[in-house]
Amino acid sequence: MKIALMMENSQAGKNASVLNELQLAVQSLDYPVYNVGMCDENDHHLTYIHLGIMASILINSKAVNFVVTGCGTGQGAMMSLNIHPGIVCGYCLDPSDAFLFNQINNGNALSLAFAKGFGWGAELNVRYIFEKAFTTGERGQGYPLERAEPQQCNAAILNDVKSAIIKENYLDSMRSIDQELVKVAISGKRFQQCFFDNCQDQAIKAYVTSLLD
């Protein structure tokens, strides 16, 4: 599993700490972690709107399999990611959220609150969240186990409903966004390295390349 970490401007100062806890949580699994910004307050400027665009491109091109993100409350980043096709982003405040999202919803992104409630011992909470998100065995097994079948069914139905509502071709939907927003989202050097090194969709690659040119 390839994981991307992305944070917006207001919480960029916590990037190094969050990155460290994420890397510690997944190091035994040999999951690569791509820190695509912001790394500090002077880094390429991103809002939570840009995070949704970045996550959408990385997930839909299969450059990464999972995105860890967040903002002050975690709400804006979650909403920004969830408007995009192919993204199922959960809201995570504690380790039980991560575990239950893993087992019941089986999504591909988590949004954390990096300001609200982020006090003494916050790095421990973040570490335990990542451990529950990535090291608790096979995903989507349900909780409690006797509820596994309807939970798996409902998760699949929800994905089908989202796909039905979003009728445009993926690249058509990306082109319908303000292209200046997209250009800013993809302009970071670490994002570009993660994307171009791992992208598996040539049409999305050509689209991103055309914007950068």
CA nearest neighbour of 53 among 114, 19, 8, 3:
8
Domains and CATH numbers, the chain: 3-212 (3.40.1400.10)
pLDDT value, residue 39: 93
Q: What is the mean pLDDT of the chain?
A: 95
Q: Residue 167 above 80 pLDDT?
A: no
The distance from CA 100 to its chain's CA centroid, rounded to whole angstroms, is 17
Q: What is the pTM of this model?
A: 0.95
Note the pLDDT tens digit of each residue in 193-206.
999 999 999 999 99
Tokens, residue 137: 């065995």
CA nearest neighbour of 57 among 213, 164, 184:
184
Q: pLDDT class for 23, splitting at 50, 70, 90?
A: very high
Alpha-carbon gap, residue 85 to 106, rounded angstroms: 15
